[in-house]
Amino acid sequence: MASEKKGNGSAEKEDDILTGPPIQTTQLGVYRVVTEIRPPFDPREKWKKATGGFPTLWRLTKDVYALGPWMVFLFLFLEFWSSCVDCILSLHLSSRILTIIEAGLKTGHPDGAAIFQAVALRMLSLAFTAVVDWSSARLGPILQGRLETRFQNRILRSKLATDLTGVQANLSTEHVTEQTSWRTFKSLLDTATKLAGAVAQLGYVFRLVQSTGHAPVFTLLCLTQPVLLTFFRRSLWLKPHVVEATDPHFLRMKGLRELSEPKYKQDIITGDIVHHILQEFRRTVGLLGDTDISSANEQYQRLVGAPSHVATKLASELPLLYYAATSIMSPAALSLSTIATLHQSESLLTWMFQYLMYSTQNVERLTTSVRAVYDLENVVHETKGGDISYPPVGSPHERGMPFELRNVSFSYPGATAKALDNVTLTIKPGQLVVVVGSNGSGKSTIIKLLTRLYDATDGEILVDGEDIKNYKLADMRHATAALTQDHHLYPLSLSENIGLGNPAHVADMDMIREAARQGGAEDVIAKLADGFGTVLEHPRNMQYGSDVFKGDDSLLAVELEKMTKEADVSGGERQRLVASRTFMRFTSGAVKLVCVDEPSSNLDPQAEWQLFKNLRTVRAGKTMIFVTHRFGHLTKHADVILCVTSFALGCADPSLPGV
């Protein structure tokens, strides 16, 4: 059962007043569907909206043209032939064949030569169209690949350049994909060619029934069904919407079903809860009853009333009524061959108009997605650099980067609570600082501010007396090395994973081997079959039929086994590999600040001790900041220990008992 509730045109969210179209909430089976309420059809509004998309479509067209003008023109010709010329030609040639056959049947003397000529022409045109379709199906993917790679490049560049603040502020751009580029162009082209085809066909039909004197009536009758279908058609995809499953029984059922996933296997077996899960599943299914669980869009489509459904069905037979009426009123007006041709064109027209209605709405929707890709270029980067080079001229910071935090406060984007409040501290060049404190007290946040992942919301961070924001961002990044548990392995080879610590020497295997040794990853790499060439979490596009099972004794199953076989390492081994990248970073000789934030949570005590020892070995010329809960063996090397407890920050003497 569907129930509807209308919402206000504006709503308050925190401090912002939201404007925009009013919304309407509908419960469809297990789903809560919220849609925008569209104003009644207003041609001026529609035109304004359509023309608003012109600059985007023009830019897209220029992008397509740039892929290769001759290829594009050839593709346009092929598509135009397929969607427009071929329809008219086949109608005309079929009609000609039927007329000649009908004349022959009437006189009893079929004109063999004329029939042969007409059939040969039809065959020739069919063969040509087949060649056109074949060529278009090969040329299209080439253009599609080129366009999508262009867009991929654009998206990649923009997403890589976006800083952390930007990512949090622009979550909506996450779903932006390159695929919409070709889809939009193709929809635009389809709309244009189908429109031309429909107009040409209407003209043809008009000419055919001209002899009856009721050409406009017949044309209108042909258009009735497509217009009704468009008018009564309901699809969630044609309007802005959000959907969520809200039925508690449905959600519980999904949760129980998910318990069959491999990741819960161990818990389920050791907990001995299989019986309970099955019993609960049956009980929940009973509680859900016959509530509709089909997709929200399917349910929305079914909201069409019975009278509209009946009217649309009947409309499909209106042309037949016309033929019947004409044959009674003026029997000589329409020949059988003309009726057959009209019948063929009438179903073609219905299909074309339906497609046109769909594609114009589709173009509108897709244009918005393409605009989102172009808009990525305008994403504002919150973290900006200044123009002072680092290290400052005349002050090479040979011992490491010095810091002074003056009344620094910080809140994460979108968060109301402060992660740091009014922090003041000084870190001298080359000091080894250990930051300790309770969970959530802001230790990692200090690191994020010092490495300029974020900027302080209040107060100042000074480097050598100069605001950190005044230094060139690239120079500061170059002078910083960070090792945290948020760092991941890249889906690239292990040698590249480590080598990227110093991109200038990404292929220098001697440096990479030494970095792997210092990071404690030497043995990890040695035991992998592909060694430094191993790619962990390899991005693969695998596909296999539902009738191929792993473990089967078929050759296909063996192939599948090989495809899905992947090297893997433990959590601690991963941390060693990531740490190796940091050691590689030191080889640039530019690093003046090292920030290490809990990188050893998965390391055994021996490996942890070794990692910190190796880090201390390369300490010369660097300020080092360690955030750790297991600081025991670091304290005796620390120059300063910062104790952070929610908003209270103090400095302790490392020699104090209990620290």
Ligand X SMILES: Nc1ncnc2c1ncn2[C@@H]1O[C@H](COP(=O)(O)OP(=O)(O)OP(=O)(O)O)[C@@H](O)[C@H]1O
Of 536 and 611, the one with the shorter C-beta distance to ligand X is 611
56-65 per-residue burial string, b: 16 or more CB within 10 A, e: under 16: bbeebeebbe
Instruction: Give yes or no for a contact between 30 and 48, defined as CB atoms under 8 angstroms apart.
Output: no
Half-sphere exposure of 457 (CA within 13 A, CB side): 16
CA 340/CA 208 separation, integer angstroms: 11
Amino acid identity of residue 354, one-letter, is Q
Report yes or no: 322 and 225 within 8 Å, Cβ to Cβ: no
Task: Please tell me whether the peptide bond between 391 and the residue prior to it is cis, using omega within 30 degrees of 0.
Answer: yes
Q: Which long-range contacts (CB under 8 A, 24 or more apart) does 159-164 make?
A: 159/376, 161/379, 161/381, 162/379, 162/381, 163/381, 163/382, 163/383, 163/453, 164/383, 164/448, 164/453, 164/454
Integer Rg of the chain from CA: 35
Tell the smallest beta-carbon distance from residue 419 to ligand X (Å): 3
Instruction: Return the amino acid letter for 521.
Output: A
Binding mask 59-98 for ligand X (x = CB under 6 A): ----------------------------------------
286 close to 189: Cβ distance less than 8 angstroms: no
593-597 and 480-484 beta bridge pairing: parallel
| Amino acid letter, 607 | A
Size of the site for ligand X (CB under 6 A): 11
Residue 3 interacts with ligand X (CB under 6 A): yes or no:
no
Q: Judged by CB under 6 A, which stretch of 93-101, 125-133, 238-246, 411-419 contacts ligand X?
A: 411-419
Identity of the residue, 338 or 575, whose beta carbon is nearer to ligand X in the bound complex: 575
Does 359 bind ligand X (CB under 6 A)? Our answer is no
Closer to ligand X at the Cβ: 356 or 420?
Answer: 420
Q: Of the listed pieces 56-64, 433-441, 552-560, 574-582, which binds ligand X according to CB under 6 A? A: 433-441
Q: Does 442 bind ligand X (CB under 6 A)?
A: yes
> 338 or 480, CB closer to ligand X?
480
262: tokens are 């491999």
363/419 with CB nearer ligand X: 419
Task: Tell the smallest beta-carbon distance from residue 234 to ligand X (Å).
Answer: 40
Does 628 engage in binding with ligand X (CB under 6 A)?
no
**Which of these ranges, 64-72, 141-149, 388-396, 441-449, lies near ligand X under the rule CB under 6 A?**
441-449
- Cβ 597 to ligand X, closest distance in Å? 7
Which lies closer to ligand X via its Cβ, residue 441 or residue 502?
441
Distance, CA of 482 to CA of 497 (rounded, Å): 15
Residue 416 touching ligand X (CB under 6 A)? no
Nearest to ligand X of 95, 575 (CB atom): 575
512-515 CB contacts, 8 Å cutoff, 24+ apart: 512/580, 512/584, 514/583, 515/580, 515/581, 515/583, 515/584, 515/587
Residue 650 near ligand X by CB under 6 A: no
Long-range pairs for 311-319: beta carbons < 8 A, 24 or more residues apart: 311/228, 311/232, 312/225, 312/228, 312/229, 312/232, 315/224, 315/225, 315/228, 316/225, 316/350, 318/221, 318/222, 318/224, 318/225, 319/218, 319/221, 319/222, 319/343, 319/346
Provide, rounded to whole angstroms, the least separation between the CB of residue 443 and ligand X.
Answer: 4
Distance, CA of 223 to CA of 202 (rounded, Å)? 10
Determine the interface stretch with ligand X among 91-99, 440-448, 526-534, 617-625 (rule: CB under 6 A).
440-448
- Please, what is the minimum distance in Å from the beta carbon of residue 441 to ligand X? 4
* Region from 68-76, 229-237, 436-444, 538-546 binding ligand X, contact rule CB under 6 A: 436-444
Interface pick for ligand X out of 56, 326, 444, 575 (rule CB under 6 A)? 444
State yes or no: residue 415 binds ligand X (CB under 6 A): yes
What DSSP character marks residue 379? P
CB of 598 vs ligand X, minimal distance in Å:
6
Q: Measured from the CB of residue 645, what is the shortest distance to ligand X in angstroms?
A: 9
Q: From CA 574, how far away is CA 489, in angstroms rounded?
A: 7
Q: What is the closest distance, in whole angstroms, from the C-beta atom of residue 187 to ligand X in the complex?
A: 39
| Residue 295, phi-psi category: left (phi > 0), alpha (psi -120 to 50), beta (remainder) | beta
**In whole angstroms, how close is the CB of 599 to ligand X at the nearest point?**
12
First to last CA, the chain: 65
CB of 625 to ligand X, least distance (A): 12
Closest CB to ligand X among 29 and 437? 437
Residue closer to ligand X, measured from CB, 103 or 643: 643
The least distance separating ligand X from the CB of residue 586, rounded to whole angstroms, comes to 24
Residue 388 contacts ligand X per CB under 6 A:
no
Cβ atoms 163, 381 nearer than 8 A: yes
**Window of 439-447, 458-466, 510-518, 581-589 that interacts with ligand X by CB under 6 A:** 439-447
Q: Is 441 in the site for ligand X (CB under 6 A)?
A: yes
Question: Is residue 41 exposed (0-12), middle (13-18) or buried (19+ Cβ within 10 Å)?
Answer: exposed
Contact between 447 and 627 under an 8 Å Cβ cutoff? The reply is yes
Q: Which residue of 209, 388, 419, 634 would you call a contact of ligand X, by CB under 6 A?
A: 419
Identify the residue among 443, 469, 574, 576 touching ligand X (CB under 6 A): 443
**Considering the complex, what minimum distance in angstroms separates the CB of residue 415 from ligand X?**
4
By CB under 6 A, tell whether 439 contacts ligand X. Answer: yes
Is 252 or 418 the residue whose CB approaches ligand X more closely?
Answer: 418
Instruction: By CB under 6 A, tell whether 445 contacts ligand X.
Output: yes
- Residue 213 region, left (φ>0) first, then alpha (ψ -120 to 50), else beta? left
What count of other Cβ atoms lies within 10 Å of the Cβ of residue 229? 18
> How far apart are CB 659 and ligand X at their closest, in Å?
17
Q: Which stretch binds ligand X (CB under 6 A): 68-76, 311-319, 443-451, 463-471?
A: 443-451
Which amino acid makes up residue 378? Answer: N
Amino acid occupying residue 473: L
Q: 405 - beta bridge partners?
A: 425, 461
Using CA atoms, how far apart are residues 60 and 36, in angstroms rounded to an integer?
Answer: 28
Candidates 9, 55, 216, 440: give the one binding ligand X (CB under 6 A): 440
Q: How far is the CB of 78 from ligand X (least distance, A)?
A: 51
| Euclidean distance between CA atoms 479 and 477, whole angstroms | 5
423 forms part of the interface with ligand X (CB under 6 A) = no
Is 28 or 641 the residue whose CB approaches ligand X more closely?
A: 641
Q: In angstroms, what is the minimal distance from the CB of 412 to ligand X? A: 3
> CB of residue 442 vs ligand X: minimum separation in angstroms?
4
User: Which is closer to ligand X, CB of 197 or CB of 437?
Assistant: 437
Q: Decide whether 353 or 454 has the Cβ nearer to ligand X.
A: 454
**Is residue 412 close enough to count as binding ligand X by CB under 6 A?**
yes
Residues of this chain that bind ligand X (CB under 6 A): 412, 415, 419, 437, 439-445
